[in-house]
Amino acid sequence: MDPQPGNGRAARPSSAKIDVRSIAVDLADLELPAEMPTLDDLAVAAAHVYERFVPYADDGWEWLSYPGSRDFDGWLYTQRAGRRIFAGARLLSRRVTTDESVTTVRPMHGLSAYRTRQLTGRPWTAEPGSKIWKSFQ
């Protein structure tokens, strides 16, 4: 049985497939200290994870656990210059794909099919009229 649409979301097509995987985000070059005594320190680390996760989000991936939470257990650590730093974060993530959204070649404009639909509300095509701005209705 297909889920009912609601809250502005359309029902998933019956050919939808949910992929779940762990995505590692590298933070070692930032040399952030592993100790996070305040929530502000945690927020800085989470913001860097968010920034580096954007390419995955553009392909439809979303976090299942949030790195800004104190219970997040996906932090990776290493030693550098005698001190312990964040090496990265491992994020359990998921994405819903359909047969039409899985492509092996990225279009010339550089955005994934998922991100293009998210930004424009429809697939981009090479037809001249597809690039003409139209107001939302």
Is 32 in contact with 85 (CB distance < 8 Å)?
Answer: yes
Is 100 in contact with 60 (CB distance < 8 Å)?
Answer: no
Q: Which comes out higher in pLDDT, residue 29 or 112?
A: 29
pLDDT at 2: 45
Lowest mean pLDDT among 31-35, 87-91, 104-108: 104-108
Any residues with CB less than 8 A from the CB of 6 and at least 6 apart, and which? Answer: none
* pLDDT (average), residues 82-87: 93
Report the alpha-carbon distance of residue 103 to residue 109 in Å, rounded: 14
- Residue 6: DSSP 8-state: B
* pLDDT (average), residues 95-108: 61
Is 124 in contact with 70 (CB distance < 8 Å)?
Answer: no
**pLDDT confidence band for 84 (50 / 70 / 90):** very high
* pLDDT (average), residues 52-81: 89
Alpha carbon 37 to its chain centroid, in Å, reads: 27
Within 10 Å of residue 25's Cβ, how many Cβ atoms? 19
Residue 129 is encoded by which pair of tokens?
């009229």
In tens, the pLDDT along 5-34 reads: 545 555 555 577 889 999 999 999 999 999
Q: How far apart are the first and last CA of the chain?
A: 30
**Mean of the per-residue pLDDT values for the chain?**
77
Q: Which comes out higher in pLDDT, residue 44 or 16?
A: 44
Q: Strand pairing partners for 85?
A: 33, 78
In this predicted structure, the answer to whether residue 3 has a pLDDT above a threshold of 60 is no
